[in-house]
Amino acid sequence: MLVKSPSIAIRSALRPIGPMVHALEAGTVFFLLLSYIWYFQARVHWSWMILLGLVLTSHAIRGESPVDLGLRKAGFGECARRFTIPVLLVAAIGTILGFALDTVRDVAAWRVAGVLSGYCFWALFQQYLLNGYFVNRIRASFHARHEYIVALIGGALFAAAHVPNPLLMVVTLIGGTVAAAAYLRHRNLLFLAFAHALIGTMLWLVVPDTVSHHLRVGPGMRRAHAHTIHRPSSSSVDTLNALVRQRDVPLANPKTRQ
């Protein structure tokens, strides 16, 4: 008697349902992702592990390996040849505008390099979740000739995950759509992660926190915004200290004056 593995048995059971099962799964996981961002993150922080476990289980059921998902060398060169110049242009133009508007952070070059290096890992995870999971599930729900619709839906989901940050919603809608289109063509997450990290680091470097909201989303963005509003700026503190010195107002207890 031939015994099927659990993953093969599940795939066989789901096949008659049709491609909509993939869309239903993606929609459910996306709802759980938003629930984590807006509710569980502040209350049950470790619950992200449950969400990740569901995604990994989905890969295991379908027999998808890391190489299948895009963690591979193949496609990196083609993707780089097509998108390196546009990515570098966006990063360069953003940096030049930052210097022109005098909004560039006053940080050392080594710190910028450190932010970029650390951002690569976070960007790789985001690109894996966006393309390795969601775009693959959406693609399985559409005909192959409708890949542009898949890319648009991927970008829209990416933007929705960054609500209510206006800057990130615009950037992720455009960037997520382009990244999804590049993934569908070249199926490589490594280059997309580096491009994502480079653009993200540029935004951190040149966009004021009052506009970027510290690159946070969900309730975390509101908390960061409230903290920025109630925290006195360094320039205000310097001005107050200057006035104190000019007026020769003692800062010590008046009883200590002679």
pLDDT, tens only, 132-158: 999 999 999 987 778 899 999 999 999
Task: Give helix then strand counts, H and E, for the chain.
Answer: 14, 0
Contact yes or no for 131/154 (Cβ under 8 A): yes
Mean pLDDT, rounded, for 12-28 = 76
Separation of CA 227 from chain center: 22
Contact yes or no for 198/117 (Cβ under 8 A): no
Higher pLDDT, 145 or 206: 206
pLDDT at 6: 64
Helix/strand/coil percent split, the chain, to 5: 80, 0, 20
Q: Is the pLDDT of residue 233 over 70?
A: no
pTM strictly above 0.95: no
Contact yes or no for 165/213 (Cβ under 8 A): yes
DSSP state of 108: -
Q: What percentage of the chain has pLDDT greater than the value 90?
A: 74
CA distance 126 to 119: 10
> Could you tell me which of 84, 68, 56 has the C-alpha nearest to residue 182?
84
Mean pLDDT, rounded, for 49-57 = 96
CA distance 78 to 73: 10
Contact yes or no for 25/58 (Cβ under 8 A): yes
CA distance 198 to 187: 19
CA distance 48 to 39: 11
Mean pLDDT, rounded, for 159-188 = 97
**Plot region of 106 (φ>0 → left; ψ -120 to 50 → alpha; else → beta):** beta
CA distance 193 to 134: 16
When pLDDT is cut at 50, 70 and 90, the band that residue 18 belongs to is: low
